[in-house]
Chain A
């Protein structure tokens, strides 16, 4: 079973729909035992970092998430909350990825919204990813490039489009909204061996 973590951030329905389109059973849940027992966990989210972290702490989901040993996929805000710290609301986060989340300088339109290319893609999420393939982003904050970066994107400046550390995977873009290219990335995650 695939657990999709339910919390106070954003459009979780579209992640559920995408997983179901790929033929996998999934459950949207905030039950710690259910999450801990799942084959894979998706940690989605669109929203504000500090209120999302507060909510996770209230429900004690922060500890559950950090202790997961099965494959975990953070998406968008999920990626940012898996980093050390976010400038958004000056928020200490879960600290899986050794990097910080910063606000885009206002040198161009913010949020970074729309389809963009990826560079330096590596690792299992990007099996079959083509050089000219694009994915859909919507975000005003970005994770700095670090040792865990497995894909970069350039908008205003270069940033981490995807991160991986041990069993934790994360994408700043929305695979569930990135057409067939995104479905392939999601499928790559869902097919990961433990």
Chain B
């Protein structure tokens, strides 16, 4: 039976991981490679590294860090943040990343999704969508959640799939950092509308929240950062709990 995946997300700045609470207040949570290895040892199913400052500062992503991570860890990992072109994606994939996550650049240049998919395969392309519920709609935001767009999360996810994305990483900005649970509503809508895996992100605070998102939506994976970094929930403990809820995990 295919297992539901638990994915710690490491927000990276200057080779160290940080976690934004609602994308604004940032605390330092340690060395990226060491933290990655800790998660591998604990049984993380996959890792995501997001260079959270890259888009704003137009800094090139962290090729050297990716090389270090790839040499060390033996599970799949995704790298995102500041990937604006096929060349950027190529550099990250050549450095050893299994997938690249694209967000703002995909909104500005949707053909980038197809270009990366055609060159490296759809399984390499994660379309990251930051969405915020306002005026009764789930709107898509870019530039680390700072800039609204005319897009809506559901239709953008479907378009992304058609253009060749292999996976959707869906983050609710309303829930991110609140520890009040995942955005069940939009995660359900998106995961039912597309036929590619959806990673639920934003809002995990308790183990029950993970069970909720797996039982009430078709999400294939759930992602969290701070609760793992600060040891509020350990991955082995979370997986043992999910098994008691009859959710298949590794």
Contact = CB atoms under 8 A, between A and B. Distances in A.
B120 A10 contact: yes
Given A17-B96, A183-B74, A111 B2 contact: no
Nearest to B191: A109
Interface stretch (A35-43, A60-68, A93-101, A171-179): A171-179
A139 B123 CA distance: 8
A134 B250 contact: yes
Q: How large is the interface on A (under 10, 10 to 19, 20 to 34, 35 or more residues)?
A: 35 or more
B193 interface: no
A117 B2 CA distance: 7
A113 B45 contact: no
A48 interface: yes
B121 interface: yes
A86 to B, nearest CB: 14
Contacts of A26: none
A117 to B, nearest CB: 7
A179 B74 CA distance: 5
A57 B230 CA distance: 52
Contacts of B93: 11
Contact of B2 (A10, A139, A155, A182): A155
A111 B96 contact: no
Interface in B1-28: 1-5
Given A106-B195, A109-B196, A114-B197, A17 B71 contact: yes
B245 to A, nearest CB: 18
Contacts of A136: 75-76
Q: Is the interface of B mostly helix, strand, loop or mixed?
A: loop
Given A117-B1, A179-B75, A46 B121 contact: yes
B101 interface: no
B120 A21 contact: no
B96 A14 contact: yes
A105 to B, nearest CB: 11
Contacts of A182: 74
B40 interface: yes
Contact of B3 (A17, A21, A115, A140): A115
A154 B122 CA distance: 22
Given A13-B95, A14-B96, A46 B3 contact: no
Interface of B: 1-5, 40, 45, 70-71, 74-76, 93-98, 120-124, 166-167, 195-197, 218, 220-221, 250
Interface of A: 10-11, 13-14, 17-18, 20-21, 46-48, 106, 109-117, 134, 136, 138-140, 154-155, 174, 176-180, 182-183
5 contacts: A11-B124, A18-B74, A109-B197, A111-B122, A115-B45
Given A10-B120, A10-B124, A115-B3, 14 more contacts: A11-B124, A13-B94, A14-B96, A17-B96, A21-B74, A110-B196, A111-B196, A113-B167, A113-B197, A114-B220, A115-B250, A134-B250, A154-B1, A178-B75
